[in-house]
Amino acid sequence: MMKKTFLSVLSALAIVGAVSFTSTSVEASGGVAIPQQKWSWTGPFGTFDRAALRRGLQVYTEVCSGCHSLNLMSYRNLADIGFSEDEIKAIAADYEVEDGPDDEGEMFFREAMPADKFVSPFANEKAARASNNGAMPPDLSLMIKARKDGANYVHALLNGYEEEAPEGVELNEGMSYNHYFPGNQIAMAPPVEDDYVEYEDGTPATQQQITSDIVTFLAWAAEPELEERKKLGLKVMIFLGLITFMLYGLKRKIWAKLH
């Protein structure tokens, strides 16, 4: 009877482990299979590649931030991925935020500070749409979590443009053909290509490199607590394993006398 309980505890542990440790399977968007990439942060011990995160921030700053906000992120959050206080101050100081009112009751602009949220490219949705042919560039803070199989989907999307729509497909004015966007017509022109940025760390900026770096950065932005959560999960598993082991030993000791 006790042996059975022990076994079922063990198998329950194994199931918990298996479920939490499997990575995402192939998902489809609009019936199209999304190519699966290898990401450093998947798997039980996965962490974000720090160099890729830095490059990803550079891509966001130099490219995506021209249209997309990152509303949930503050400059000081960058400390979590290894940016120093001075680096963060310098990054924030490149932007201006509205503050106030001052003693005269006037609103004013000042340099952004580490505690400020990432500054949005547009003052409001109408301004954003007006600059984008009527389409709204969505906030990217939670994009990787908001889309099914998000990291692979965004990577595929950024690499999924066709120069011309297939025969028989009429593109509307200002739209591009994308293999992975639902409905295939997207209001975002291809945002990157080879050498679109010049990396500060000297990494060759192929389109593949740029797109995988920005996805890594956005995956961290959407789930900054991921590494902590994994560490805690691992500690819990080890703890449960030890407890199971000790209880089993105790059980044997007690039952040895009763037989």
Query: Taking a C-beta distance cutoff of 8 angstroms, is the pair 54, 220 a contact?
Result: no
**Shortest spacing between CB 182 and ligand HEC, in angstroms:** 7
Q: Can you tell me the distance from the alpha carbon of 170 to that of 106, in angstroms, rounded to the nearest whole number? A: 51
> What sign does the dihedral 202-114-213-181 (CA atoms) show?
negative
Extract the tokens encoding 31.
């019936």
Token representation of residue 156 = 């595929």
74 versus 159: smaller Cβ distance to ligand HEC:
159
The helix/strand/coil state of 242 is: helix
Candidates 17, 46, 114, 138: give the one binding ligand HEC (CB under 6 A): 138
Contacts for 86 with CB less than 8 Å, ≥ 6 apart: none
Q: Report the residue number, 46 or 138, with the smaller CB distance to ligand HEC.
A: 138
Rank residues 155 and 230 by Cβ distance to ligand HEC and give the closer one: 155
By CB under 6 A, name the one of 186, 219, 221, 222 that touches ligand HEC: 186
User: How many angstroms separate the CA atoms of 208 and 228, rounded?
Assistant: 28
Q: Report how many helices (DSSP H) and strands (DSSP E) the chain contains, helices first.
A: 8, 7
Smallest separation, CB 98 to ligand HEC (Å) = 23
Q: Which of residues 157-176 bind ligand HEC (CB under 6 A)?
A: 157-158
Of 52, 192, 219, 221, the one binding ligand HEC (CB under 6 A) is 192
The CB-of-163 to ligand HEC minimum distance in angstroms stands at 18
Confirm or reject binding of residue 142 to ligand HEC (CB under 6 A). Answer: no
Query: Which residues pair with residue 99 across a beta bridge?
Result: 108
Find the shortest distance in angstroms from Cβ 160 to ligand HEC.
11
Give yes or no for residue 112 binding ligand HEC (CB under 6 A): no
| Binding window for ligand HEC (CB under 6 A); candidates: 45-53, 74-82, 134-142, 224-232 | 134-142
* Tokens coding 137: 């560039």
In whole angstroms, the minimum distance from the beta carbon of 63 to ligand HEC comes to 4
Would you count residue 51 as binding ligand HEC (CB under 6 A)? no
> Is 136 or 236 the residue whose CB approaches ligand HEC more closely?
136
Write out the E strands in 14-54. Answer: 28-29, 32-33
Q: How far apart are CA 141 and CA 121, in angstroms?
A: 14
Tell me the C-alpha distance between 107 and 251, whole Å: 71
CA distance linking residue 72 with residue 74, whole number of Å: 7
Residue 117 gets which letter from DSSP?
Answer: B
Is residue 132 close enough to count as binding ligand HEC by CB under 6 A? Answer: yes
CB of 43 to ligand HEC, least distance (A): 24
Enumerate binding residues for ligand HEC (CB under 6 A).
59, 63-64, 66-68, 132, 135, 137-138, 143, 147, 154, 157-158, 186-188, 191-192, 214
